[in-house]
Chain A
Amino acid sequence: MSRLTPHAAWVAVPLLLLAGAASATQRGIHYGEIDDPGLVACDQQLWEGQLQRARACYRQLLGKAPATALRAELAWALGEIKAANRWFRQAVQENPESAPLRTRWGWLFAVTHQAAEAQALFDEALTLDPNYVYAKLGLASVMAGGFSGAASEALEPLLTDANIPTGAAIRASLMKAWLALEEGHLDEAETLLDRADGMLRSSTWPRLELLALRAAHAALGDEPVQPWVDEALAQNEFFGDAWAVPAYFMVITRRYEQAGQWYEAALAVQPDLWSARLELGTNLLRLDRPVEARRQIEAAYTGDPYNAKTVNTLRLLDTLDGFEIRTLTMGEKGMKLRLHSEEAAVLTPYVADLTRRSVALFSERYQYTPSQPVVVEMYPDHEDFAVRTVGLPGVGILGATFGYVVAMDSPAARSPDDFHWGTTLWHEIAHIFTLRATDHRVTRWFSEGISVFEEWRTGPVPGRQIPLVALNAMAEGKLLPLAQLDASFIRPSYPQQVIVSYMQAGLTCDFIEQEFGFAPLVEILAQYKAGAGTRKAVETALGITLEQFDERFAAFIDSEFSETFAALTEFEQQRGDAVGAAREQRWADVVEPAQRAATLLPAYVDADSPYLMLARAQRELEEPAAELSALQAFFDAGGRVPAALDRLAELLKDQGNVAAAADVLDESNWVAPLDWDRHSRLGELWLELGKADAAVREYRAALALNPHDRADAHLKLARSLNSAGRTDEARLEVLSALELAPNFREAQKLLMSLIES
């Protein structure tokens, strides 16, 4: 479960089975793509689990000085990947017009995790022969690995084309079944698997991949997987994917413990199934078992050094050596924070505070108490977090939750102008409850919906925050029927659809609470735990059909947002006018359009909010009261741009409203807690208000951020500790100040005062 940036990018996760390889670097089942009888005979032995005989067979063929293309296949079959690549290159040079040859070379790249090169070769093959179906399948596989919604569209015509070879039709059915399983469409998957099975039974191709998918289908339907696994292993006792494929589907449905057991089972029958070993290691990280994880991932690297995920994750594990682990109290089970050593001292109190508050609140609301310690990891380098989450950099998510483990960007990883880390942590902690309260059976849409809903309802910045892109999509009628919402998280059909789906999910929960009360939300969780799908869960909890739900939800959206939708065009126009005037520093001309834009969309509080343009204009026009008013409206609407909050606090303080200024700066901690000066200013305000303990927290944070003047920071902390009556701690701090600056007269005076008292 994850929280997205407004510009999220989905990542490619290789679907090894669909790529035609039972194990990374292995050739897998080619379903008629190769017709050399000698090679197919060797392959048949491999597929039957006669590994030694198969290898001998390949070697024997190699000894007969075969043609270059066959030599490439044989090198590949024998695990000599670099040699295979060389032979394919030579074969293509010898026969540049061959679409099948380029397609096979493309598969070699696909199974060695080089999707771009694979796609280029499949494209070249289709240029040579637009009807070459195996290249179409290759391209669909690459699309599926990139979580593109186009994969399904590419496969559709192949499912109904009676003229394509049977092997290709089988593969198309299996691939489409895989996609259907990923999207949770079990009935559709079963139909496709039945279709594939029918064709397989009258062919010479093994049923191994079909059986693995049958096992996955059973697992997702809470049926026993063992019969299917047994049948597959009876055909090939070394076919680890019989376990690894259902394990993959357990991972994507967040059932990590089950996945781990099945990956171990896969490796027991096929120790060189390197993809499974990597996934096992990654899964152990999700379960907060980094030592065992490293062992598995290092082993995976020795067998498959081509996998970027493996290399990245090993590097990440090295990075984790620079993190501190802090175990803190919280309820019965406590919490564990894994924070970078340069941030741990400053972030710990804030992370612990928010974690305690959210866990206490959600325990009560969702009637579930964590039975293990909650683990929070925060990464100052976003790419480390991305690797932690999916093994690859370039992911547009902010946080992810794996059972009891929350991993997320630290405040240092992103600009505070558009990253409210407190809200992200709140969102992720909510996932712990929806996942654990349902034994990880909750659907993605509902878990994300509850997390977004809780952001709005109980989070650090309450109130609906809906990005413009989502408002525009809603205005264009792009919200989905509830039954289709889950699939849109996996394979979005248009850019930014995932963002829209997050908002729809949050609004759905909001709607349920408003129309039916809070209890049905808890009931839906109970239904998921009992194994219900969305239809049954929603219909049971709400007493209406899913279709009725969709109708009422559409009416709710209309009543809540029709005015907003109508205002969108004018908002953009007014905001554009304000931006234009501001660019030319015509400050008086900024005021009216900015005011109008803020009125049209009062909840829009991004960094380019009209409130901030208005405040800037009023400042330039030397109208401090109007500036304060604009900034206060921005703050009240949920705006948390740190520079704006600094200015608001300054104006409030100038007005003599110290308490309000302190409250505003205090909110900055959930956005930008890594600024020592802001902590110091807030500490000063708290001291002025007589809140010595709050001042201590801020001055400690300031000190942890290595301020330029450390002696002064120690003195300030000493003063706040003294005010809080903690004189022994105060004396130690003042000694620290004087250790750095022995002649620091103010510190000397405090020391003497403490000693004399």
Chain B
Amino acid sequence: MRLSLTLWVVAILCWLGFETPTARAEIYSLTAAGLGGDADYDRRFAADAERIHESMQGSASLLTGQGATRETILAELDRWAGSMTEDDQAVVVLIGHGSMASDDYRFNVAGPDLTGTDLAAALEALPAQRQVLVNTTSASGALLERLAGKPGRVVITATKNGRELQATRFSSHFASALRSPAADLDKDRRINAAEAFAFAERAVADYFDSEGLLATEHPRQLGDNPSSLVLARLDDAASDAVAPELLARREVLNDQISALRARRSQMDQAEYLQELQSLLISLSMVSEKIEAAGGDSSARSGEVP
């Protein structure tokens, strides 16, 4: 099927009707690695934390080993509360051993453990409406439903409940996801929470499958719209040479495509495909211009600086 003249006109009209970019929000991230219990685990947890921390966008903090305590973690979150606005995004990543004791989840750090109650209170105190908690520890599933109820918050855990107590592999794969083009399912050169989770979840399953082992961890994700929460970029930011209106135009087209997809079930299939094709042609043309200007033709703007 070739595009009709009418559709070309629609495409051009879409192209002219761009909007201005939305205000950029700040990302606050904290990656904390707890105690390993032995040198191997200490090294592994610290390495995973380092990789995740380096991939994170925005204002990123890292606490590991003896430096990661209940006090330092809570203090960092408390510090955010002073400057964070409700449009910002908060990302907390925990790596290490977790457990369940006295009906509460515990993150094993130097000194007193950080509890599920501590985390719940600290996250609740943050002004940011959009929050991601990535808890990669054993027993992390205990926090899943308890913390995921708040609108705008996404909780990712390495285990399905508090009873999966074996040391997990999830953090390593999650760290890989933030740097891997294979995790970038929507090809926007950014890794959002949904993509990172999907990549790590599959990698964990493949590991147990290929080793012929019974899976001792079952990652879970709960919360609103995790694909809107960008965690990492796969390359540098777009060139300053790209005209802002091109980037804005791309955002508009992406939004229109999203809106069209949402209406798909109510539309005639042929009509849907024609409209989709029209928008995609427009988007391709914008991408080409961005590319020609030396920018990243795939990376979307808006969510992260």
Contacts and interface: CB of A to CB of B under 8 A. Distances in A.
Contact of A743 (B199, B254, B273, B276): B254
A749 B284 CA distance: 7
A235 interface: no
B121 interface: no
B276 A739 contact: yes
Interface in A322-342: none
A711 B198 CA distance: 14
A755 B185 contact: no
A751 B2 CA distance: 11
A301 B60 CA distance: 65
Contacts, number: 76
B298 to A, nearest CB: 4
A201 interface: no
A118 B273 CA distance: 67
B224 interface: no
Contacts of A749: 284
A710 B283 CA distance: 20
A709 interface: yes
A741 B254 CA distance: 10
Contact of B187 (A728, A747, A755): A747
Nearest to B284: A748
Contacts of A751: 277, 280-281, 284
A708 to B, nearest CB: 5
Contacts of B159: none
B1 A742 contact: no
Given A748-B280, A752-B281, A743 B198 contact: no
A741 B298 CA distance: 10
Interface stretch (A292-300, A471-479, A730-738): A730-738
A731 B3 CA distance: 11
A740 B257 CA distance: 10
A738 B182 contact: no
A516 interface: no
Question: Size range of the interface on B?
Answer: 20 to 34
B187 A732 contact: no
Contacts of A583: none
Contacts of B283: 742-743, 748
A554 B188 CA distance: 71
A64 interface: no
A749 B182 CA distance: 19
B275 to A, nearest CB: 11
A745 B2 CA distance: 20
Given A742-B254, A743-B254, A755-B2, A735 B273 contact: yes
A743 B186 contact: yes
A743 B284 CA distance: 8
Given A739-B261, A742-B257, A711 B187 contact: yes
Contacts of B257: 739, 742
Contacts of B69: none
A561 interface: no
Given A735-B276, A739-B276, A745 B291 contact: yes
Contacts of B250: 743
B297 A745 contact: yes
A744 interface: yes
B79 interface: no
B146 interface: no
B199 A752 contact: no
B287 A748 contact: yes
A732 B279 CA distance: 14
A728 B273 CA distance: 12
A741 B185 CA distance: 7
B182 A742 contact: no
B300 interface: yes
B202 interface: yes
A751 B281 CA distance: 8
A731 B186 contact: no
Nearest to A731: B1
Contacts of B182: 708-709
Contacts of A741: 185-188
A751 B284 CA distance: 8
Contact of A745 (B1, B298, B300): B298
Contact of A708 (B198, B277, B280, B287): B198
A740 B287 CA distance: 16
A614 B2 CA distance: 57
Contacts of A743: 186-189, 250, 254, 283, 287, 297-300
A739 to B, nearest CB: 6
Given A709-B182, A728-B1, A752-B281, A745 B276 contact: no
Contacts of A744: 186-187, 298
A412 to B, nearest CB: 12
A261 to B, nearest CB: 49
Interface string A532-573: 000000000000000000000000000000000000000000
Given A731-B1, A745-B287, A752-B284, A740 B186 contact: yes
Contact of A735 (B277, B297, B299): B277
Most A Cβ at <10 Å: residue of B3, B186, B199: B186
Nearest to B250: A743
A710 B185 CA distance: 7
A100 to B, nearest CB: 50
B254 to A, nearest CB: 6
A716 to B, nearest CB: 13
Contacts of B288: 748, 752
Contacts of A738: 276, 280
Nearest to A747: B187
A607 B147 CA distance: 48
A735 B276 CA distance: 8
Contacts of B287: 743, 745, 748
A45 B151 CA distance: 77
Interface string A618-638: 000000000000000000000
Interface in A671-727: 708-711
A732 B276 CA distance: 11
Given A708-B199, A709-B182, A735-B273, A745 B3 contact: no
Interface string B194-222: 00001100100000000000000000000
Contact of A711 (B2, B186, B261): B186
Contacts of A732: 273
Contacts of B273: 732, 735
Nearest to A746: B187
A375 to B, nearest CB: 32
Nearest to A754: B2
Nearest to A737: B187
A752 B257 CA distance: 17
A711 B276 CA distance: 15
Contacts of A755: 2-3, 277, 281
Interface in A349-403: none
A233 B253 CA distance: 82
Contacts of B298: 743-745
Nearest to A752: B284
Nearest to A732: B273
B187 A745 contact: yes
A709 B189 CA distance: 14
Interface in B55-71: none
B228 to A, nearest CB: 15
Nearest to B206: A708
Contacts of A708: 182, 185, 198-199, 202
Which of A709, A710, A732, A742 has most chain B Cβ within 10 Å?
A742
B218 to A, nearest CB: 17
17 contacts: A711-B187, A735-B276, A735-B277, A739-B261, A740-B185, A741-B186, A742-B254, A742-B279, A742-B283, A743-B187, A743-B299, A743-B300, A745-B291, A747-B187, A752-B281, A752-B288, A755-B3
User: Which 8 residue pairs spanning A and B have beta carbons closest together?
Assistant: A744-B187, A748-B284, A741-B187, A741-B186, A743-B298, A743-B188, A738-B280, A742-B257
Given A739-B276, A752-B284, 8 more contacts: A708-B198, A708-B199, A735-B277, A741-B185, A742-B257, A742-B280, A743-B254, A744-B298
